[in-house]
Amino acid sequence: MLVRRASDDGAAVLTLDSPANRNALSARLVGELRAALEEAGADPAVRFVVLGHTGPAFCSGADLSGDPPLDPREFVRLLRTVVELPKPVVAVVDGAVRAGGLGLVGACDIVVAGEAAASFAFTEARLGLAPAVVSLTLLPRLDPRAVARYYLTGEVFGAREAVRVGLATVVDGESGPVLAGLRAASPQGLAASKALTTEGVRAGFARDAERLVALSAELFASDEARERIAAWRAMTDHRLARGAATRRRLLDAAVACLAELGWSGSTVSVVAERAGVSRGALQHHYPTREDLFTSAVEHVAERQSAAVRSLAGADVACVVRAIVDLYTGPVFRAALHLWVAATTEPRLRPRVVQLEARIGREAHRMAVELLGADESVPGVREVVQGLLDMARGLGLASLLTPDAGRRERVVERWAGIVGGALGGAG
């Protein structure tokens, strides 16, 4: 999934999760985001939507290497969905926003910009393009002189300037009263008030959308734009490959530090030194400590899960042993340190709660698939969950007093239990 979904005290939390291409607007990401927004809009338990991101970029604009490429009309549909949603959408931007990503930010009702890491730039003119479709959400909201300057020059500007020109609402340290106000408002009041504030933007969609889509298509098809995009793509492919390698080193180093040193000893500087990169390079990829360590645990856990999935078709004992191994290695130890830290770190807690839920669901789904378990049969779901609980228990027990012999006896016994339960179910 490129868009993660969670909930938090009346808010639907949607997270753009395609850091490998800087959350670029691919056809798949746009489709997933629009579906998630529509689902949140129809959910009576949701009062407002928070749109965030993983990685160093909120959104880098259109995915110029996309296959299939993004249809600009689908991007218009996404922007329209944000604007017409009967619930406020709050963008939480703690990284780079470029080109089409600014249109997405402009569609949101409230924008919280991270003062340390948020940056914005209209890069279209440098590629022989223009901020065409994004103007639907930006021109009605932004200061006209600022629009002329930044559309034409492609200059990068930060959070405070974004607030000044009308692109952002507040910087991150000032967002508390804003979110509290949304939670205190009534659903009807929010819907009616939003309709008033977006009236001009919605009128612009009806009047200008087709014309701006045609302009965008014309510019993209021009020889000048094709030449400049090809040069940009060659440069970007190299940079992305180098960045991906750096991120892998950082994530592996972060997990190793957590497992060995715990949360208090795993500072950003320590991880950067172990990975062989500068602190600034680390913070370019992961602006906050919370970003780094939650991403690290998830990344390595997913890599290990992929290895376990390769056991499809193996016997029950082999699968049980592999699942236990997931909970008795350094990743489990690192995750445990992160879980404990989250109990006393307010900024870390919501990230870890979401991460734990995702990893837990994925572990259960993987166990069901590998074991060929039919959970519609009474008792089978409980056996699978019991297996996972047993694996966690062995992982905890092995932290202080590892006992390979005892572990092997328990694994053999559970393999028999699971095999018997599944055989009986069949």
Contact 287, 95 (CB under 8 A): yes
Question: What string of H, E and C letters represents the secondary structure of the chain?
Answer: CCEEEEEECCEEEEEECCHHHCCCECHHHHHHHHHHHHHHHHCCCCCEEEEEECCCEEECCECCCCCCCCCHHHHHHHHHHHHHCCCCEEEEECCEEECHHHHHHHHCCEEEECCCCCEEECCHHHHCCCCCCCHHHHCCCCCHHHHHHHHHHCCCEEHHHHHHHCCCCEEHHHCHHHHHHHHHCCHHHHHHHHHHHCHHHHHHHHHHHHHHHHHHHHHHHCHHHHHHHHHHHHHHHHHHHHHHHHHHHHHHHHHHHHHHHHHHHCCHHHHHHHHCCCHHHHHHHCCCHHHHHHHHHHHHHHHHHHHHHCCCCCCHHHHHHHHHHHCCCHHHHHHHHHHHHHCCCCCCHHHHHHHHHHHHHHHHHHHHHHHCCCCCCCCHHHHHHHHHHHHHHHHHHHHHCCCHHHHHHHHHHHHHHHHHHHHHHC
Query: Which of the residues 39, 74, 124, 369 is marked catalytic?
Result: 124
Q: Which two tokens stand for residue 281?
A: 């390079």
Contact 6, 22 (CB under 8 A): no
Residue 335, Cβ neighbours under 10 Å: how many? 26
Gap between the Cα atoms of 420 and 415, Å rounded: 8
Contact 103, 134 (CB under 8 A): yes
Among 214, 153, 29, 176, residue whose Cα is nearest residue 90: 176
Q: Is 124 a catalytic residue?
A: yes
Residue 53: beta bridge partners? Answer: 16
The residues that are catalytic are 124
